[in-house]
């Protein structure tokens, strides 16, 4: 069914009240192809659960919400399984499914908001793990030819919060399902991330304990979008070269930093934002979360442009203070 002139307030975790001219949910691949054919010259865009977007204005086209569901094991041997998950499945529900079946590989990614289909686009990551580690392939509709293609891991050019789907293939394909390889026991686990290591002290290393610890950490730092609108980390953590890092370190000896690759250092954007005094600040309906400075929040009735203006102000201040250009992590529409 196609609806007209509806508000997307309940379809984006920022809770922004922006309108779309046409709106429809997509339940399977056939439905997707038929609805795209109908668009002809009308522009369209695809959303999952709207957990990594900021709606900055009303949209004069179609907004399609991907809702296709299903989790199917395609192959299995004594060590691992290959599982195909439809794009509209909720990511955390998939993590819970894997935990229940005792399949390892995504436990550190528990409680990340959003859909499975959106996960490869920005190569979701948290607590020492990234999606690319368990990703096998995805199936996607090529918009120009209306044919389905398979993208294997090597085709996807995964990087930190990035993939080919955010670059060369941006707006050219629509992911409809994703295949993952998950491990059967005995599990290899990743507990290198310090806050996770601390939370697991005195506990057994099991995938369930890891997921529980991740859930606790996330709940303690990140605002629950059902209570206070937000899109998770608003900016990417900037990656700078060694020369620039040494200059900053001489001025700020305490600057936290993480090795990225030779000559590349990742600096937490949250630290930079805290350093300019913005953590916990509120400007009308928009503000910076008081427990995690990388999260911009909507206190109720913020417009997309209120959030955007605050983000721009932060970017300008960080550029002036540190000579670092912060890039947005959420997608702006
Ligand atoms: N820090 C501050 N102030 C703060 C928060 C953090 O100075 O208010 C500094 C501390 O030095 C801390 C460091 O930043 O050690 C890193 O903080 P944290 O571990 O909370 O992670 P992050 O770098 O801010 C990234 C991801 C998160 C992910 C966490 C955990 C990005 C853009 N964000 O945040 O992902 O959950 O690591 O792995 O890479 C998301 O993408 O929406 C998201 C929440």
Cα-to-centroid distance, 73 and ligand 1 (Å) = 33
Tally of domains within the chain: 3
Please check whether residues 216 and 305 belong to one and the same domain: no
Query: Residue 41: what pLDDT?
Result: 87
- The set of long-range contacts for 269-274, using a CB threshold of 8 Å and a minimum separation of 24, is 269/233, 269/235, 269/236, 269/237, 269/238, 269/293, 269/294, 269/318, 269/326, 270/294, 272/238, 272/318, 272/321, 272/322, 272/324, 272/326, 273/314, 273/318
Closest approach atom of ligand 1 to CA 293: 8
CATH of residue 233? 3.90.78.10
Q: What is the pLDDT of residue 142?
A: 98
Active site residues: 161, 233, 329
Q: What is the pLDDT of residue 286?
A: 98
pTM above 0.95, yes or no: yes
- Give the pocket of ligand 1 (CB within 6 Å): 126-127, 161, 221-222, 232-233, 236-237, 256, 268, 270-271, 274, 279, 292-294, 329
Q: Which domain holds residue 53?
A: 3-66
Q: CA-CA distance, 11 to 179, in Å (whole number)? A: 26
In terms of domains, do 306 and 284 share one?
yes
Res 1: pLDDT: 87
CA of 262 to the centre of ligand 1 (A): 22
> Do 79 and 217 belong to one domain?
yes
Same domain, 28 and 52: yes
80 and 215 both lie in a single domain: yes
Take atom 2 of ligand 1 and give the residue whose Cα is closest. Answer: 271
Please tell me the distance between residue 299's alpha carbon and the centre of ligand 1 in angstroms. 21
Q: Which residues of 75-85 are buried (b: 16+ CB within 10 A; e: fewer)?
A: eeeeebbbbbb
Mean pLDDT per 10-residue section of the chain, whose length is 333 residues? 95 98 97 93 95 97 97 98 98 98 98 98 96 98 97 98 97 98 95 94 96 97 96 98 96 95 95 98 97 97 97 98 97 96
Same domain, 286 and 174: no
Closest CA to 101 of 182, 216, 27: 182
CATH at residue 174: 3.30.465.10
* Shared domain check, 239 and 118: no
Do 27 and 101 lie in a common domain? no
Quick one: 104 and 209 in the same domain? yes
Q: Which of 66, 84, 117 is the last residue of a domain?
A: 66
Which of 221, 240, 274 is the last residue in one of the domains?
221
């Amino acid at each position: 069914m196609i609806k007209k002139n509806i508000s997307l307030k309940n379809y984006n975790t920022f809770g922004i009240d922006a309108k779309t001219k046409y709106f429809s949910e997509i339940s399977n691949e056939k439905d997707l192809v038929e609805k795209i054919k109908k668009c002809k010259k009308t522009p369209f865009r695809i959303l999952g659960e709207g957990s990594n977007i900021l709606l900055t204005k009303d949209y004069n086209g179609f907004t399609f919400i991907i809702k296709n569901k299903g989790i199917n094991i395609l192959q299995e041997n004594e060590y691992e399984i290959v599982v195909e998950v439809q794009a509209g499945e909720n990511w955390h529900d998939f993590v819970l499914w894997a935990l229940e079946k005792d399949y390892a590989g995504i436990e550190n990614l528990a409680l990340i908001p959003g859909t499975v289909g959106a996960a490869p686009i920005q190569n979701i990551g948290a607590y020492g793990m990234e999606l690319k580690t368990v990703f096998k392939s995805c199936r996607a509709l090529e918009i120009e030819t209306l044919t389905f293609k398979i993208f294997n891991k090597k085709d996807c050019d995964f990087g930190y919060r990035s993939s080919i789907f955010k670059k060369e293939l941006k707006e050219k394909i629509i992911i409809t399902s994703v295949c993952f390889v998950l491990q059967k026991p005995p599990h290899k686990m990743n507990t290198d991330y310090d806050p996770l290591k601390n939370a697991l002290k005195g506990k057994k290393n099991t995938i369930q304990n890891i997921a529980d610890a991740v859930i606790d950490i996330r709940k303690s730092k990140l605002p629950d979008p059902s209570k206070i609108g937000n899109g998770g980390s608003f900016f990417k953590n900037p990656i700078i070269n060694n020369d620039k890092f040494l200059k900053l370190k001489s001025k700020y000896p305490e600057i936290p930093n993480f090795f990225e690759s030779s000559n590349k250092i990742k600096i937490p954007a949250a630290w930079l934002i805290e350093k300019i005094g913005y953590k916990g600040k509120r400007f009308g309906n928009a503000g910076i979360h008081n427990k995690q400075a990388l999260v911009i929040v909507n206190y109720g009735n913020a417009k997309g442009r209120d959030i955007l203006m605050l983000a721009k102000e932060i970017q300008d201040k960080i550029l002036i203070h540190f000579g670092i250009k912060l890039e947005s992590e959420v997608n702006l529409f």
